[in-house]
A and B are shown apart, each in its own frame.
Chain A
Amino acid sequence: MRRAVAVLLALSFLLTPFAGCTVSHPDGSAWRDQARQTLDDVASEVATASLVLEQLNGGRLPSSYGITMAVAAEEAASTAEEKLSSVQAPASLGGVPRKVLALIGRATEAVRKAREAVVAEHYDVSRLLRELDRLRTALDEQRAAL
């Protein structure tokens, strides 16, 4: 009995490092939870990028501060996107994961454009601001629909 327990413990100890190497494949409900969290995170970064651009355009924010914030927003949005896209979505959800990932990809791309505008000191970007606003609404709606 003791031997069996010892073997089991040794096996679990040896296999632990491999646990993180497999692709995560949650069920539908767990995937939806993760997607909702990602939509929330990306919407927050979209809103941050938009607010930073507005403040820079209004002359209320120094460019160094704006650059740091825009870079951080882009990194956070990209990390959130990568994290969700590396999860194997269950087949039962049909085309929903593809649609969600496409929306998140568009939002991340818009945050990247905002960072480019901030670094290039092109703050008068009303089209980009409108796009960011539309995307934030779309992300919120998608989150509610999941």
Chain B
Amino acid sequence: MKRLFAIALGILTAIGGFVDIGDLVTNAQVGARFGLSLGWVVVVGVVGICVFAEMSGRIAAVSGRATFDLVRERLGPRVGLLNLAGSLAVTLLTFIAEIGGVALALELVTSVHYLLWVPLVAVLVWLVLWRAKFSLMENVLGLLGLSLIVFGVALWQLHPDWGHLSSQMAAADKPLGESWTLYAYFAVALFGAAMTPYEVFFFSSGGVEERWTTKDISTMRANVFIGFPLGGLLSLFIAAAAATVYQPLGISVETLGEVGLPVAVGLGKIGLAIAIVGFVAATFGAACETGLSAGYSVAQYVGWQWGKYVKPRVAGAFHLSLVLFTVLAAGVLMTMVHPILVTEFSVVFSAVALPLTYFPILVVANDPDYLGEHTNGRVANALGTVYLVLVGVAAIAAIPLMVLTKMGTA
């Protein structure tokens, strides 16, 4: 019974914790502009993050070692350092976007400019990273993030043309008047939003922190294979709600307020209040996860003591890095760079940085020295190889597409 409860809780938090500021903004932007014609990318991205997370979770459970520990060992200190620099830059970019996302959500409730919220949010994030228990942080914020299901209920209340939405998703074709370059740019952005590298750093490091063993592999798989796809369904709800309300009016999504407005149209104030709880939980949870992931990455590479279970005076350097990253994130936001712009950059650069950690994890997942009998099977390897190609293509295409489309505005 206890085990069943643990599995159910893990699945629910995986659903609620799946969506972050990148998913919220990118799915609403794509839905408003392309309807559900890019919905297939969400499906591809969700399968990809399942493959990636399952491999790294299995590695953590069997070897007891987290991503950057292995990256340094497999690639050597120099290449490992380049790898760390790229991945850390993207994780920090996402961290900045998440803190900005929480501040934007609070601005919607209070009408107080988000910049005034940034220092407070940064302090709160740091306090949670410093004091709160790992399970409390993961479970409370993950469960509150489930309130984003309200997008599904709002979609139902908006009475969309289900046939039209289904045919858009099935046809996977660009709408009239849009170019294939733009379609490809937003496909890469959606892929990056679904397969954000920090999710895997956090997932595998969390596994090491919670001392997973081979006995935990089945629970981990249930979380990944049930929780993540259902989390992906929330992304599709957000896109479909935006498509239903905004596409006929020609409205493009540029603010977090516009992400939530379809819920108000469908369900009114109570629905919107639930959506805002979901925004705060999703972005605050992701801010904690990205902040920790940044600290984990550096500590694992350098070989410091790390982890929320380790007392701050034992893991001093790790905890100091969390403080520095939080100050840096708040400082960047205080320069008035807009969080939505940072979000748009972070999802595209996530796609660019993905191969840096995906490839070493795929290699280690096939190495019996680390995994013994738990190396990748045929299906895992086939999927792993297909996604290696997809991740590579997205990484190569991301920056040229960003330039060609002027970040999706051309």
Q: Indicate if B381 sits at the interface (CB-CB under 8 A).
A: no
Q: Which residues of B contact A (CB under 8 A)?
A: 107-111, 245, 249-252, 254-255, 257-258, 260-261, 264-265, 267-269, 272-273, 409-410
Q: Indicate if A101 sits at the interface (CB-CB under 8 A).
A: no
With contact pairs A64-B108, A65-B109, A68-B107 given, residues A44 and B265 touching in the complex (Cβ less than 8 Å): no
Name the contact of A37 in the complex, choosing from B267, B272, B409 (C-beta under 8 A).
B409
Chain A contact residues: over half helix, strand or loop, or mixed?
A: helix
The 10 nearest A-B residue pairs measured at CB:
A60-B268, A69-B257, A64-B111, A47-B249, A44-B252, A67-B111, A47-B251, A72-B255, A61-B264, A44-B251
Name the contact of B264 in the complex, choosing from A47, A55, A68 (C-beta under 8 A).
A55
Which chain A residues lie closer than 8 Å to B409 at the CB level?
37
Interface centre among A51, A67, A68, A72 (most CB of B within 10 A): A68
Minimum CB distance partner of B32 in chain A: A44
Name the contact of A61 in the complex, choosing from B109, B249, B272, B410 (C-beta under 8 A).
B272
Interface centre among A37, A59, A65 (most CB of B within 10 A): A65
A55 touches B254 (CB 8 A): no
Q: Indicate if A138 sits at the interface (CB-CB under 8 A).
A: no
Q: Indicate if A129 sits at the interface (CB-CB under 8 A).
A: no
Q: Which residues of A contact B (CB under 8 A)?
A: 37, 40-41, 43-44, 47-48, 51-52, 55, 59-65, 67-69, 72, 76, 136, 140
21 A-B residue pairs with Cβ-Cβ distance under 8 Å, sorted by A, are: A40-B252, A41-B252, A44-B251, A44-B254, A47-B250, A47-B251, A48-B251, A52-B261, A55-B264, A55-B265, A60-B269, A61-B269, A64-B110, A65-B108, A65-B257, A67-B111, A68-B108, A68-B255, A69-B261, A72-B257, A136-B250
What CA separation (Å) do A72 and B257 show in the bound complex? 9
Having A60-B265, A61-B272, one finds 13 other A-B pairs with CB under 8 Å, namely A43-B250, A48-B258, A51-B245, A60-B264, A65-B264, A65-B272, A67-B111, A68-B111, A69-B255, A69-B261, A72-B255, A136-B250, A140-B250
A59 touches B268 (CB 8 A): yes
Which chain A residues lie closer than 8 Å to B272 at the CB level?
60-62, 65
Name the contact of B249 in the complex, choosing from A51, A60, A62 (C-beta under 8 A).
A51
Which chain A residues lie closer than 8 Å to B108 at the CB level?
64-65, 68
B62: min CB distance to chain A, Å:
48
